[in-house]
Amino acid sequence: MKKWPRPKGKRIMSEKEKKGGDKKPGKSKFNFEFNFNFYWVYVLIAVAFIAMTFMPSLGEADRKLNDDELKVILSSGDVKELVIVNKDIAEVFITEEALESNSDYEKVKSNPFGSALNKGPHYYHQIVEIQNFDNTIKEIKASLPEDKRFDTDAESRKNWGDSVMWLLPFVLIIGVWIFLMRRMSGGAGGGAQIFNIGKSKAQLFEGDTKVNVTFNDVAGLDEAKVEIKEIVDFLKNPKKYTDLGAKIPKGALLVGPPGTGKTLLAKAVAGEAKVPFFSLSGSDFVEMFVGVGASRVRDLFKQAKEKAPSIIFIDEIDAVGRARGKSVSQGANDERENTLNQLLTEMDGFGTNSGVIILAATNRADILDRALLRAGRFDRQILVDMPDLTERIDIFKVHLKPLKLGKDVDVDFLGKQTPGFSGADIANLCNEAALIAARKDKKKIEKQDFLDAVDRIIGGLEKKNKIITKGEKKVIAYHEAGHAAVSWLTEHASPLIKVTIVPRGRSLGAAWYLPEERQITTKEQMLDEMCAALGGRAAEEIIFGKVSTGALSDLEKITKQAYAMVTVYGLSEKIGNVSFYDSSGQSEYSFSKPYSEKTAELIDKEVSDMVESAYNRTKKILLDNKDKLEKLAEELLEKEVIFKENLEVIFGKRQWEPAELEPKKTEVVDEVESDEPIEKSAVEEVNIEEPEDVVKVEGNDSLTQS
């Protein structure tokens, strides 16, 4: 059999050697890799400067002559030539015969860099006063025989050594500065430094950099996971799709409220996909220097193309993707717009990015530029909405795995008690329950710990030691009893869970409700909710004949709700079926209202009439049930906390009990472009403090009232 010759210069390695074999890395004798470091240039330059500076001084002690020694050598007749340099230095050249025959010249005979005969100058003399020196030379030459006389010459030379010594400090300072700046440019992130400021700051996940999050860790979001999994599967098995003529999507945009799991879904993609994954935030492109953002975009896509197929994930893309030309001060955001233009070009410009997929996440899709959202850039917009009952149960199962639970903990019950909670809220709830159980020195987390955690998250920290007078406490009790009574006696108000007059957070009292998980809301339902919110103030007026500042949050809520009914939802007969709602989110940049002054007056009057009508209806309901209201308030003053069962004893069974939701998938129907999110377990709060504190409540009210 014919044997082919092995190619020269390249050793064929066995499979064992390719994998490393038994040898330790870096120990192979065939490893000739040399990495050039630019710092060697600095070392060579430094050595050259030192050599130029100190080379002339080599052996200077043996060759330097004083006045007497100079006279002796010049008078000996062995001098061939005397050169006066810059009227400062006298160079003495000895004849070759004298160097060979006279042992006195042994030290200057040989060349310092070789064995050849040194051609000079052999000696130096420092001239103190040139006139006296000339006279001395003339006298010595006159005393010598004609054949022994030496030649004299004068030269003018530039002293490069002095010039180098003058420049050396500046060179050293510049060198140190360059060294420090290069060291800074090698820091973490690779883009926030001076020389690498235009480099991408994306974090790369590939190879040994493993992400432990998988799709199994993402509970709920079944529809979103199907489309995201499809992208990952396309990268793993492209033939399955290309055989049908399908093309890989260019990008996918994850849209949804905060805390719903957009970033978690992207982490799962990084953990599942076996391709390089670049992760960064939209704000990483933003910089005060002109052109930096666009440069970072170019560098990011350059790196992604080199490692294609790859995935780029941009979190909070609204930081650079905001619609162009919508700013109040036109031209003030040129740098951000340049960054966006470069991003648009890279995503689907003249040159195609084969094998590079873009993932992005935002909760402000309404403000993104339309060019960014078109097909070919972001082919898919995936809605990651608030979880429904079934999804909340699945999320609870994920977060309850590492916890030690008591036997009374029911996952289905927890899912029903947390309408409007996002995935992040549920994770926080589980952690708070564990902390509360640990505070009580329990070995396991019980059902009551989770209920306390819900109260803590919604209402705030309980303040049992807050100083409240008896008069204030009585007003608070009737205020909360008013909320509870009206919500119990109206058909569409949210079902009551419990009422308390224990201060919690910035509230002095609270009523907990469990809102229905509905996708559309009728006018009657909204009016009943307004009546329930006005129940506290109406009760104060009926019992005490005066009102307090405690209804601040209630009034704020119903005012916003009434204006939304009139101007957004078209639920006013006088205004008609019109809506001034701007789904694009650009109305904030407009200085004028989308309606006339006459219409504005009509809107204000309609809102006022609607609120007053609801208030009068609320007072009528409470007057018809005044005895029950007083009984409820007295029981509240006694127990401080009462529950649904206590209201059933006083008012009887509620006529309009909502239908029990079963854990099953339901189709999500958005009422008005998701104008407002589903409320968490609602809390009515009352504040009876001084007016200055009321202002703080308004600004810091994080509770949701019904």
Q: Where in the sequence numbering do the catalytic residues fall? A: 480
**Tokens read off for 581:** 């709602």
Phi, psi of 4 (to 5 degrees): -80, 140
Q: Give Cα 281 distance to the centre of its chain.
A: 5
Distances in whole angstroms, Cα of residue 514 to Cα of each of 471, 495, 587, 590, 678: 30, 6, 33, 38, 11
Enumerate the β-bridge partners of residue 251.
Answer: 358
* Partner residues linked to 278 by β-bridges: 204, 312
> Exposed, middle or buried, 7 (CB in 10 Å: 0-12/13-18/19+)?
exposed
441 in Cβ contact with 454 (< 8 Å):
no
Neighbour-count burial of 396, counting CB atoms closer than 10 A to its CB (0-12 exposed, 13-18 middle, 19+ buried)? buried
Query: Residue 425 has which token pair?
Result: 């809220």
Is residue 541 a contact partner of residue 550, using CB atoms and an 8 Å limit?
no
Bridge pairing between strands 380-383 and 251-255: parallel
d(CA 170, CA 345): 45
Q: State the alpha helices, DSSP H only, in 102-253.
A: 106-109, 130-143, 160-185, 222-236, 239-242
The structure tokens listed for 143 are: 């005393």
Distance of CA 360 to the CA centre of its chain: 13
- Tokens 């020269």, residue located: 8
Distance CA 520, CA 672 (A): 9
Comparing CA positions, the residue from 625, 455, 614 lying closest to residue 524 is: 614
Q: What is the Cα–Cα distance from 599 to 605, expressed in whole angstroms?
A: 10
Dihedral (Cα; 603, 605, 609, 612), 10-degree rounding: 110
Separation between Cα atoms, residue 590 and residue 327, nearest integer Å? 10
Q: How would you classify residue 497: left for phi > 0, otherwise alpha for psi between -120 and 50, otherwise beta?
A: alpha
Decide: helix, strand or coil at residue 466: coil
- The structure tokens 């003495």 sit at 92
Q: Which two tokens stand for residue 316?
A: 């909070």
**C-alpha of 428 from chain center:** 21
Residue 499's DSSP bridge partners are 511, 642
Q: Which two tokens stand for residue 126?
A: 């420092």
Residue 631's nearest CA partner among 539, 703, 705 is 539
CA 315 – CA 312 distance, rounded (Å) = 10
Beta bridge partners of 512: 498, 683
579 C-beta neighbours (distance < 10 Å), count: 16
Determine the length of the chain: 706
Helix (H, G, I), strand (E, B) or coil at 521: coil
Helix (H) or strand (E) holding 499: strand 496-500
The partner residues of 315 in beta bridges, in order of sequence, read 281, 361
